[in-house]
Amino acid sequence: MISQLSARLAEKLTAETLSVATAESCTGGRVAAALTSTPGSSVYFQGGVVAYSNQLKVELLGVPMEVILSQGAVSRECALAMAEGVRRKLGVKAAVASTGIAGPDGGSREKPVGLVWLAAVGPRGACCVKKQFSGDREAVTRGATLEALALLMSAI
C-alpha cells in the first residue's frame, strides 16, 4: 500500500513539477524513505529532517517554543509548524510532517500511545489530521507513514 501511494505521489509531483520535503518525529524518516523509494525521486524530493527532540523542532524547524510549552510536541499546532518550517527552510512547494507517540512508552491519559498528528502544506493549502493507531511501535509508525503520504497527496 505504501509503495503504491508513493508511486502515485511520484507521478503527481513530477507532472506538476512540485518539490517536497519532510519533517518527521515519530515516523523517524519513514515518510522520506517512502518518497525516495521510487526511481527518479531526486526530481521532486529535496530532503527531510528527523527532529525527535523539542530543541530541534524549535531551532531547526522554527516551531515556536510557546507551542511546545502550551500545546506540546504532539499537537496540531506543532505538526503544522513543523510542516511549514521545513517547507520554508528547504524552499519547497510542499511538505509533510509527523509528530506522535509510537510507544511502547511515553503515553499519558491525555495523549496515549498511538496518538499521531500529521500535517501537510502545498498548493492546495494546509491540512492537519489527528490519528489514533493501535498495535505495537511498528504498527503505529507504518500507519502514520501511510496516512502522511495520503495527506500529502491531498495537499498537492
For the chain, what is the largest distance between any 2 Cα atoms, rounded to a whole number of angstroms?
A: 44
Domain count across the chain: 1
pLDDT tens per residue across span 30-69: 999 999 999 999 999 999 999 999 999 999 999 999 999 9
> Is residue 47 classed as helix, strand or coil in its secondary structure?
strand
12: domain CATH number is 3.90.950.20
CA distance 74 to 77: 8
Q: Which domain holds residue 30?
A: 2-155
Copy the grid coordinates of residue 103: 510507544
In this prediction, residues 152-156 reach a mean pLDDT of 96
Copy the grid coordinates of residue 56: 530541534
> Is residue 102 classed as helix, strand or coil in its secondary structure?
coil
pLDDT tens per residue across span 58-115: 999 999 999 999 999 999 999 999 999 999 999 999 999 999 999 999 989 999 999 9
pTM for this structure? 0.97
pLDDT at position 1 is 87
